[in-house]
């Protein structure tokens, strides 16, 4: 191989390397710079320094301030003195707090407030107590915090010669249980046989349930914890049970005059009245 050929080849290799380096530099300038790492801002927030039981006054020795990354939860406190220096007094825990758990205003009473059922009601709602039966009302397994439907069973119609018509209807759906007997602890877990259940309802529902207790029997059906669907059926009658073939109704006036008639059936008793065309 001649010297001229070797020199030409060397020059070509050098020019190729220069072109590759130049191309890499050009492409690197076209790429956007990597985004800067996100800046996490810490906020001071009050948490439990020790276990706090339900009903305990929340005082300074039970609290501490830590740095909380990101946005602080709604209802949290940034300083201990926000909880301890109010002239009305200390707040009371409406539920238990674990160590290092964020203290939220919604889980405390107002300053100087006592632990009571009124403190856990939602704004605009009322509490109504209902008589219960340990057999028909979920056998005592309803606990504070559960969701139930309330049903009314009663007999409508009837008279001296005709029995009434038993009916069960839904009066309230997906209502929250706030107390059983004298217990309103929303973290209660042990089933108990009770004589009364207190539920949270609207003022209109409170009137309906109070009246319903005087005209029939109320019962509770327990909902799944994630079930918020409305009831597909609002009322049930004996005819809806559908067991067997219904007996032939007794017809009064079946041998009456021919012509237009009006037929009235009450349960199994049917009466036919002639319809005057005059």
* pTM for the structure as a whole: 0.57
- Note whether 224 and 274 are same-domain residues: no
* CATH code for the domain of 82: 3.90.1210.10
In a domain, 199, yes or no: yes
In a domain, 68, yes or no: yes
- Note whether 150 and 177 are same-domain residues: yes
Q: State how many domains the chain has.
A: 4
Segment among 87-101, 184-198, 256-270 with least mean pLDDT? 256-270
The pLDDT score that the predictor gives to residue 121 is: 83
Question: What is the extent of the structural domain holding 77?
Answer: 41-115
- 243 or 39: whose pLDDT is higher? 39
Domain endpoint, select from 55, 83, 115: 115
Question: For 181-188, which contacts have Cβ atoms below 8 Å and span 24 or more sequence positions?
Answer: 183/144, 184/117, 184/120, 184/144, 185/54, 185/95, 185/144, 186/94, 186/95, 186/120, 186/144, 186/145, 187/54, 187/95, 187/96, 187/145, 188/143, 188/144, 188/145
- Note whether 215 and 252 are same-domain residues: no
- Note whether 64 and 154 are same-domain residues: no
- Note whether 171 and 64 are same-domain residues: no
- Inform me whether the pLDDT recorded for 124 exceeds 80: yes
In a domain, 36, yes or no: no
How far apart are alpha carbons 113 and 95 in whole angstroms?
Answer: 14
Q: Which of 97, 92, 91, 93 is nearest to 50 (CA)?
A: 97
- Note whether 69 and 104 are same-domain residues: yes
| pLDDT average, residue stretch 99-118 | 86
The pLDDT score that the predictor gives to residue 273 is: 64
In a domain, 35, yes or no: no
- Note whether 131 and 228 are same-domain residues: yes
- Note whether 235 and 267 are same-domain residues: no
The pLDDT score that the predictor gives to residue 185 is: 66
- Report which secondary-structure segment, H or E, holds 198: strand 196-201
In a domain, 34, yes or no: no
154-208 pLDDT tens trace: 988 776 776 778 899 999 999 999 888 777 666 666 666 678 889 999 999 999 9
- Note whether 125 and 236 are same-domain residues: yes
How far apart are alpha carbons 278 and 276 in whole angstroms?
Answer: 6
Most confident of 5-9, 15-19, 206-210, 237-241: 206-210
- Inform me whether the pLDDT recorded for 278 exceeds 60: no
In a domain, 161, yes or no: yes
Contact 153, 170 (CB under 8 A): no
How far apart are alpha carbons 260 and 258 in whole angstroms?
Answer: 7
Length of the chain (residues)? 278
- Note whether 45 and 74 are same-domain residues: yes
| pLDDT average, residue stretch 137-156 | 83
User: How large is the greatest C-alpha to C-alpha distance in the chain, in angstroms?
Assistant: 136
Between strands 269-274 and 250-252, the pairing is parallel
Between strands 63-69 and 42-48, the pairing is antiparallel
The pLDDT score that the predictor gives to residue 139 is: 56
- Note whether 228 and 129 are same-domain residues: yes
Domain endpoint, select from 92, 115, 138: 115
The pLDDT score that the predictor gives to residue 249 is: 47
In a domain, 265, yes or no: yes
Q: Could you count the other beta carbons within 10 Å of the beta carbon of residue 125?
A: 17
In a domain, 56, yes or no: yes
Work out the pLDDT band at 23, boundaries 50, 70, 90: confident
The pLDDT score that the predictor gives to residue 136 is: 61
265 phi-psi bin (left φ>0, alpha ψ -120 to 50, beta other): beta
Q: Where are the alpha helices (DSSP H) in the chain?
A: 3-30, 81-84, 203-215
The pLDDT score that the predictor gives to residue 184 is: 67
| pLDDT average, residue stretch 218-231 | 87
- Note whether 175 and 191 are same-domain residues: yes
């Amino acid at each position: 191989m001649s010297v001229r050929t070797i020199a030409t080849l060397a020059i070509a290799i050098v020019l190729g390397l220069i072109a590759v380096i130049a191309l890499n530099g050009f492409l690197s300038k076209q790429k956007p710079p990597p985004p800067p790492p996100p800046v996490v801002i810490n906020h001071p927030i009050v948490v439990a320094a020790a276990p706090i039981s339900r009903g305990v006054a929340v005082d300074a020795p039970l609290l501490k301030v830590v740095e909380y990354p990101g946005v602080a939860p709604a209802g949290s406190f940034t300083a201990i003195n926000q909880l301890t220096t109010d002239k009305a007094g200390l707040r009371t825990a409406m539920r238990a707090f674990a160590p290092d758990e964020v203290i939220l205003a919604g889980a405390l009473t107002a300053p100087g407030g006592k632990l009571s059922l009124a403190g856990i009601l939602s704004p605009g709602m009322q509490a109504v107590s209902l008589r219960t039966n340990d057999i028909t009302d979920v056998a005592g397994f309803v606990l504070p915090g559960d969701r139930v439907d309330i049903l009314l069973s009663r007999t409508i119609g009837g008279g001296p010669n005709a029995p009434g018509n038993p009916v069960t209807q839904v009066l309230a759906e997906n209502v929250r249980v706030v107390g059983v007997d004298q217990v309103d602890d929303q973290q209660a877990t042990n089933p108990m046989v009770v004589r009364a259940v207190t539920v949270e309802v609207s003022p209109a529902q409170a009137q309906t349930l109070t009246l319903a207790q005087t005209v029939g029997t109320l019962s509770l059906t327990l909902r799944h914890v994630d079930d918020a669907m409305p009831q597909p059926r609002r009322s049930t009658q004996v005819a809806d049970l559908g067991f067997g073939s219904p007996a032939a109704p007794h017809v009064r006036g079946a041998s009456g005059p021919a012509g237009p008639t009006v037929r009235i059936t009450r349960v199994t008793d049917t009466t036919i009245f002639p319809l005057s065309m005059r």
